[in-house]
Amino acid sequence: MTIRPATRPDAVGGLRASVAVSAVSAVNRVSRSLGRGSGTVAGGRAGLAIDPRLLAVLASGRRVALVSGTNGKTTTTRLLAAAVAGADPASVVSNDTGANMPAGHVAALAGARHAPVAVLEVDEGYLGRLVDEAHPEVIVLLNLSRDQLDRIAEVRMLVDRWRSALGRLRAPRPGMPATVVVANADDPMVAYAAGTAPEVRWVGAGQVWHEDAVGCPACGGRIVFTDDGRWACDRCEFSRPVVDADVVGDELVLADGSRHPVRIALPGQFNRANAGMAAVAAQVLLEVMGGHGPDGGPPALDLALGRLAGVTDVAGRFSTITRSGRPVRLLLAKNPAGWTAIFDLLDETGATTAPVVLSVNARTADGLDTSWLWDVPFERLAGRTVVATGDRRLDLAVRLRYADIDHTVVDGPLAALDHALACSVDGVTTDFLGNYTAFADLRRAL
Amino acid sequence: MSASAGRLTVCVVYPDLLGTYGDGGNGLILARRAGWRGVDVDLVQAPSDRPLPDADLYTIGGGEDGPQVRAATTLAEEGTLVRRVAEGAVVLGVCAGFQLIGRSFPDASDRPQEGLGLLDVTTRKGSGARAVGELVATPVGDSPRTGRGDPLPRLTGFENHGGVSTVGPGSRPLAAVTRGVGNGGGDGTEGAWSGRVLGTYLHGPVLARNTALADLLLGWALAPAGAPVGTVAELEPLDDADEIGLRSERLEAVDVAGTVGWRSVVDRMRSWR
């Protein structure tokens, strides 16, 4: 499909696209008035039903950045949007509600027709479609590990799909610059997928979860990790790429040796890694957009790092609320890698006896299968007051029993939180950790 | 409990290759349930780059196509598992682990790969969609019996596989499917077993929801040395309130979903944002 650059969908897509855009906002209004959330997905679906090319039409004429991966998508998208927008939030449109499939992209884009930049979080399974239809300037690839296996099948199938999608970037449209892929060099699955892309900035962003990356995606050999996070296949030549930037503690260290502080308001090493990836991607976009000197370089990078430092929470995640006079931190994690990273965060930032509420659902958006709970190292919660809740609190209870963790099962997220708060002491923050819809349930209940 | 019940080694086979669906939990559950009964138990995670240790009870989990072939090849080459089964060891294979202890299974390109032949089961690629969802199966006359000679209670779990398995005359089906797909060959069977080797498509992991099956495997493994195959050591009961709660909740959810089809629709609407 050839899309001429334009900012108005009716100029490029004709009457059909114009009707489709109206449908998006009409359905969204109806959906909102019926109380079905923000209605972003419903409107986008309606628009795409009327005009299947609507995503391409709405994306054309903008600078587009895509963010995908198993964990950290929403946070990194938020950080990247902040880094690019600076003092002008209206200049960037983003699907910041987490609706990360094409219907969500269409809804977001239709809602901000004149924003020159789009920063889009993309579900791993839809990266290929977004690459083909949105013609991104930059693509951020964070990590790939097991998540929602009932829906998107297996990690290696995803890697193969990413690989072929990124390979298509080798034939860019005439007159357009090549898309830059910003990829996590510490994840062999990401490294293999990005290997087909014409231009890659490799970032050493770390990887807490290696269990899905032991079999070499290139040859079926064995990936061997060393303690410093480097890795190589024991059979073929596939190994960790030489990085352009490395996230080391709270600094981003470039290949030229320069060090740039990553001082963010969000907690946890994985968020500093997300910030490092976002900053490198923002640098690419800011340079393409101009105004940062001929060589771009550190000034754009430091500008980005300064801007994203101001992000304090991401759709409620990492935020701290007060209930019954005591602080409660709200955390979201969806899969073994995410929960493991959050346990790191708990150890890093809290008292090791602080109460924690665990809430797990298994609705469509979460994945229907709870087997992943057995890959989460709940043993690490020893010494804490643990309360289990959510639709699948009984699955949690059995898992905690075999992890030898004393726990209480409470029906309902608020009741569970209050139970934990009753066990807390002054000055200690209680953590609430939920998976996708469990987190949303608590936010609605508060 | 028999005299030989004093020691037990439980081995999780190749968690680096076959651990996609939380099936490592089966090893943990077996080890804990033995330990709670005073058995001196070793739980060993055996990576694929080292010789497989001698154990009394092996669990083999689910995995992706490439790692499954690698695991089958490595196990066949290094020989410990087949030897230990001949010596009386117990094996639980789940999903990809079930397929690879059979006679043959398909690789990613649908070429048949040789399995370990511990079960008379042949797996081919299914022609339709993957079998994904809750699976309930009721033990039948051919199913293994507990120590008291009773049939196992209904089995509950989650299945996620593209393979279709056929049980040959050398093994017997584990149970009859009452909900879900199971082996998928049209005969309504789920899983297979013979001797002290048992395979199933149920994960979740399977032993978290089916403690009777966990105790059957332990009973086989703890039977006195030299006892006829099929002897089940008697184990003292445990307080399984958590597991019983989970079991009933899952079986009930499936029963409700079976009679009222709108449940998943409501679920989907809830997830709209």
Within a domain: A299: yes
Of the candidate ranges A97-111, A215-229, A363-377, B198-212, the one whose mean pLDDT is the lowest: A215-229
Query: Which of the listed residues A274, A308, A342 is the one where a domain comes to its end?
Result: A308
Within a domain: A4: no
Q: Which of A31, A147, A369 to mutate to test the interface with B (most CBs of B within 10 A)?
A: A369
Rounded average pLDDT over A231-249: 95
Query: Which of the listed residues A258, A280, A308 is the one where a domain comes to its end?
Result: A308
Within a domain: B76: yes
C-alpha dihedral sign at A209, A212, A217, A220: positive
Within a domain: B20: yes
Tell me which amino acid residue A218 is: A
Q: What phi and psi, each to the nearest 5 degrees, are found at residue A40?
A: -65, -35
CB B16 within 8 A of CB B48: yes
In this complex, the residue of B64, B204, B264 whose CB is nearest that of residue A371 is B204
Using alpha carbons, select from A272, A273, A275, A149 the residue that is nearest to residue A212.
A149
Using alpha carbons, select from A81, A141, A91, A139 the residue that is nearest to residue A307.
A81
Q: What is the pLDDT of residue A291?
A: 56
Q: Which of B14, B206, B246, B262 to mutate to test the interface with A (most CBs of A within 10 A)?
A: B246
Confidence of residue A152 (pLDDT cuts 50, 70, 90): very low
Please judge whether A365 and B271 are an interchain contact, meaning their C-beta atoms are less than 8 angstroms apart.
Answer: yes
**Whether residues A246 and A123 fall in one domain:** yes
In sequence order, what are the beta bridge partners of B105? B113
Query: Which of the listed residues A246, A278, A308 is the one where a domain comes to its end?
Result: A308
Within a domain: A214: yes
Q: What is the pLDDT of residue A292?
A: 59
- Helices A102-111 and A9-33 pack at an angle, to 10 degrees, of 100
In sequence order, what are the beta bridge partners of A160? none
**Whether residues A207 and A347 fall in one domain:** no
Q: What is the pLDDT of residue A86?
A: 87
Instruction: Please tell me the pTM assigned to this model.
Output: 0.85
Confidence of residue A4 (pLDDT cuts 50, 70, 90): very low
Within a domain: A3: no
> Quick check: helix, strand or coil at residue B108?
coil
Q: What is the pLDDT of residue A16?
A: 80
Rounded average pLDDT over A321-338: 93
A394/A152: higher pLDDT: A394
Q: What phi and psi, each to the nearest 5 degrees, are found at residue A266?
A: -75, 145
- Distance between CA atoms of B56 and B88, rounded to whole angstroms? 8
Within a domain: B175: yes
pLDDT by 10s per residue, chain B, length 273: 343 447 999 999 999 888 877 888 999 999 999 999 999 999 999 999 899 999 999 999 998 888 899 999 999 999 999 999 999 999 999 999 999 999 999 998 899 999 999 999 999 999 888 899 999 999 988 899 988 888 999 999 999 999 999 999 999 999 999 999 999 999 999 999 999 999 999 997 999 999 999 999 999 999 998 888 889 999 999 999 999 999 999 999 988 776 544 444 444 444 443
Within a domain: B59: yes
Rounded average pLDDT over A289-303: 68
Tell me which amino acid residue B48 is: S
Token pair of A274 as six digits: 């997300």
Of the candidate ranges A146-150, A215-219, B40-44, B130-134, the one whose mean pLDDT is the lowest: A146-150
pLDDT tens-digit profile of A251-277? Answer: 999 999 999 999 999 999 999 999 999
CB A439 within 8 A of CB A357: no
C-alpha dihedral sign at A146, A151, A156, A158: negative
Q: What is the pLDDT of residue B120?
A: 98
pLDDT tens-digit profile of A404-442? Answer: 999 999 999 999 999 999 988 888 999 999 999 999 999
**Whether residues A208 and A353 fall in one domain:** no
Task: Output the domain CATH number for residue A149.
Answer: 3.40.1190.10
- What are the C-alpha distances in Å from B147 to residues B87, B89, B225, B230? 21, 17, 16, 9
> Which positions of B are annotated as active-site residues?
95, 203
- Distance between CA atoms of B96 and B73, rounded to whole angstroms? 13
In this complex, the residue of A153, A211, A398 whose CB is nearest that of residue B242 is A398
> Quick check: helix, strand or coil at residue B224?
coil
Token pair of A140 as six digits: 């951020």
- Distance between CA atoms of B84 and A257, rounded to whole angstroms? 55
**Whether residues A176 and A274 fall in one domain:** yes
**Whether residues A212 and A337 fall in one domain:** no
In sequence order, what are the beta bridge partners of B192? B173, B199
Domain count, chain B: 1
Touching check for B64 and chain A: CB below 8 Å?
A: yes
C-alpha dihedral sign at B65, B70, B73, B75: negative
Q: What is the pLDDT of residue B273?
A: 34
**Whether residues A222 and A360 fall in one domain:** no
Q: What is the pLDDT of residue A46?
A: 87
Task: Output the domain CATH number for residue B183.
Answer: 3.40.50.880
Domain count, chain A: 2
In this complex, the residue of A150, A220, A402 whose CB is nearest that of residue B29 is A402
Please judge whether A211 and B15 are an interchain contact, meaning their C-beta atoms are less than 8 angstroms apart.
Answer: yes
Confidence of residue A29 (pLDDT cuts 50, 70, 90): low
pLDDT tens-digit profile of A45-91? Answer: 888 888 889 999 999 999 999 999 999 999 999 999 999 998 888 99
Within a domain: A85: yes
Within a domain: A48: no
The single residue listed with the structure tokens 């109380």 is A35
With CA atoms as reference, the chain B residue closest to A222 would be B49
Q: Which chain B residues are Cβ-neighbours of A104 within 8 angstroms? A: 273
Of A33-42, A149-158, A206-215, A364-373, where does the model show the most confidence?
A: A364-373
Torsion, CA B139, CA A370, CA A400, CA A69, rounded to 10: 150
Rounded average pLDDT over A30-47: 66
Tell me which amino acid residue B111 is: R
Touching check for B125 and chain A: CB below 8 Å?
A: no
**Whether residues A260 and A147 fall in one domain:** yes
Touching check for A170 and chain B: CB below 8 Å?
A: no
Residue B69 CA, chain-centre distance (Å), reads 18
- Distance between CA atoms of B204 and A78, rounded to whole angstroms? 34
Give B140-202 as a DSSP string: -TTS-B-TTSPBPPPEEEEEEE-EEEEE-TTSEEEEEEEES-TT-SSS-EEEEEETTEEEES-
> Quick check: helix, strand or coil at residue B103?
coil
Q: What phi and psi, each to the nearest 5 degrees, are found at residue A233?
A: -80, 145
Touching check for B58 and chain A: CB below 8 Å?
A: no
C-alpha dihedral sign at A67, A70, A73, A76: negative
Full domain range(s) for residue B166: 3-241
Task: Output the domain CATH number for residue A414.
Answer: 3.90.190.20
Tell me which amino acid residue A142 is: L
Mean pLDDT (chain A) is 88
**Whether residues A300 and A341 fall in one domain:** no
**Whether residues A345 and A378 fall in one domain:** yes
Q: What is the pLDDT of residue A34?
A: 52
**Whether residues A300 and A326 fall in one domain:** no
Within a domain: A284: yes
- Distance between CA atoms of B257 and B167, rounded to whole angstroms? 29
C-alpha dihedral sign at A14, A16, A22, A28: negative
**Whether residues A175 and A259 fall in one domain:** yes
CB A116 within 8 A of CB A81: no
Full domain range(s) for residue A79: 62-308
Closest approach of A174 to chain B, Cα-based (Å): 37
Touching check for A391 and chain B: CB below 8 Å?
A: no
Q: What is the pLDDT of residue A37?
A: 46
**Whether residues A280 and A397 fall in one domain:** no
Touching check for B45 and chain A: CB below 8 Å?
A: no
- Helices B211-221 and B24-35 pack at an angle, to 10 degrees, of 70
